[in-house]
């Protein structure tokens, strides 16, 4: 089974690329971020014609998250409990979408154990933070702390659950995750509080599934020839529950998806699950 996450940076502009990626890669579940549309505007027909079920959460032309799955979607959560709001008036933005997927028959059981029946995938678009002294930065840290609290509870409630927290985390956890740390001095994404908030998930038992299996950037800005110069950032990640991590056999970053006309500034991050 193949799971991928991808900040598509406007699904209406990239529906054809997204469905072509699904066909080419053989991806079974695709978590998307920054879809930039309401559910009514989401090009669901393109995915349905390709054989996928779709769950979508979007409020306007900003943010937005979605999941496309070859397997039936059993339940959908358009936010996590305690998800912070932002703005004036304060709104719980479309930044988290959890789907419970029927994987009966898709995954093997351990010897002497039944095959798992459900997989939970959270498509996450963590707030950017903007600047270190901006209210959006405090919101970002609050958002990550609230997600951590809920995620810790999910592991405590069912240690055997197959759960993936995937998406655009807007954090570069290590110096090697940006092309030049000097260029990020005093900037978001690399600050100690952000990195500590990201690492806290591992402290609770979550395992970032891509770091040990693949290396590359996942984002290159459109400006200043960042992609041709390979001046990128690694900010798209997949935290897996221990039970899911035990089933992951490989991971890769599809750098080639950044090439060509109409590319997103992010690329897909892909996990293979036994």
Q: Can you give the pLDDT of all 274 residues of the chain as single tens digits?
A: 999 999 999 999 999 999 999 999 999 999 999 999 999 999 999 999 999 999 999 999 999 999 999 999 999 999 999 999 999 999 999 999 999 999 998 888 877 778 889 999 999 999 999 999 999 999 999 999 999 999 999 999 999 999 999 999 999 999 999 999 999 999 999 999 999 999 999 999 999 999 999 999 999 999 999 999 999 999 999 999 999 999 999 999 999 999 999 999 999 999 999 9
pTM of the complete model? 0.97
Which residue numbers belong to the known binding site? 7, 34, 168, 170, 265-266
Q: Give the whole-angstrom CA distance, residue 7 versus residue 48.
A: 20
Query: How many degrees, rounded to 5, is the angle at CA 147 between CA 185 and CA 150?
Result: 155
Q: Give the pLDDT confidence score for residue 239 in this predicted structure.
A: 99
Cis peptide, bond prior to residue 117, ω within 30 of zero:
no
Tokens 């072509």: give the residue. Answer: 20
Q: Give the pLDDT confidence score for residue 254 in this predicted structure.
A: 98
Which bin fits 179, alpha (ψ -120 to 50), beta or left (φ > 0)?
alpha
Out of 52, 71, 137, 168, pick the active-site residue. 168
Give residue 6's domain range.
Answer: 2-273
Catalytic site residue from 53, 57, 71, 266: 266
* Angle formed by the axes of helices 135-157 and 192-203, nearest 10°: 10
Pair of tokens at residue 154: 């999910």
Does 266 participate in catalysis according to the annotation? yes
Binding residues for Mg(2+): 7, 34, 168, 170, 265-266
Confidence (pLDDT) at 111: 72
Can 168 be counted among the known catalytic residues?
Answer: yes
In this prediction, residue 139 carries a pLDDT of 98
Q: What is the CATH number of the domain that holds 148?
A: 3.60.10.10
User: How many domains, in total, are found in the chain?
Assistant: 1
Beta-bridge partner residues of 167: 124, 237
Task: List, in sequence order, every residue forming a beta bridge with 240; answer none if it has no partner.
Answer: 164, 207
Tell me the longest C-alpha to C-alpha distance in the chain: 56
Of 165, 160, 151, the residue nearest 247 (C-alpha): 160
pLDDT of residue 115: 85
| pLDDT at position 211 | 98
* Helix/strand/coil for 55: strand
What integer pLDDT is reported at residue 45 of this predicted model? 98
**What is the pLDDT at residue 35?**
98
Q: Give residue 251's pLDDT.
A: 98
Select which of 52, 125, 137, 139 is catalytic. Answer: 125
């Amino acid at each position: 089974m193949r799971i991928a996450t991808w900040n598509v940076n406007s699904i209406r502009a990239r529906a054809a690329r997204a469905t072509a990626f699904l066909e080419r890669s053989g991806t079974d579940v695709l978590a998307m971020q920054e879809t930039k549309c309401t559910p009514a505007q989401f090009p669901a027909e393109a995915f349905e014609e390709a054989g996928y079920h779709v769950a979508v959460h979007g409020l306007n032309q900003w943010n937005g998250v979605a999941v496309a799955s070859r397997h039936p979607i059993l339940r959908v959560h358009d936010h996590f409990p305690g998800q912070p709001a932002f703005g004036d008036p304060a709104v719980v933005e479309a930044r988290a979408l959890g789907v419970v997927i029927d994987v009966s028959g898709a995954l093997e059981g351990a010897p002497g154990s039944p095959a798992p029946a459900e997989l939970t995938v959270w498509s996450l678009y963590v707030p950017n933070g903007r600047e270190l002294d901006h209210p959006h930065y405090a919101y970002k840290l609050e958002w990550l702390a609230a997600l951590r609290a809920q995620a810790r509870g999910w592991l405590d409630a069912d240690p055997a659950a197959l759960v993936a927290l995937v998406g655009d985390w807007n954090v570069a956890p290590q110096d090697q995750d940006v092309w030049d740390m000097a260029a990020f001095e005093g900037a978001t994404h690399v600050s100690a509080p952000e990195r500590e908030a990201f690492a806290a998930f591992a402290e609770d038992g979550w395992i970032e599934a891509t770091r040990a299996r693949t290396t590359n950037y996942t984002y290159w800005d459109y400006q200043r020839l960042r992609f041709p110069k390979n001046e990128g950032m690694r900010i798209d990640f997949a935290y897996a529950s221990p039970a899911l991590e035990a089933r992951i056999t490989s991971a890769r970053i599809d750098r080639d998806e950044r090439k060509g006309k109409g590319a997103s500034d992010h690329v897909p991050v892909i996990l293979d699950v036994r």
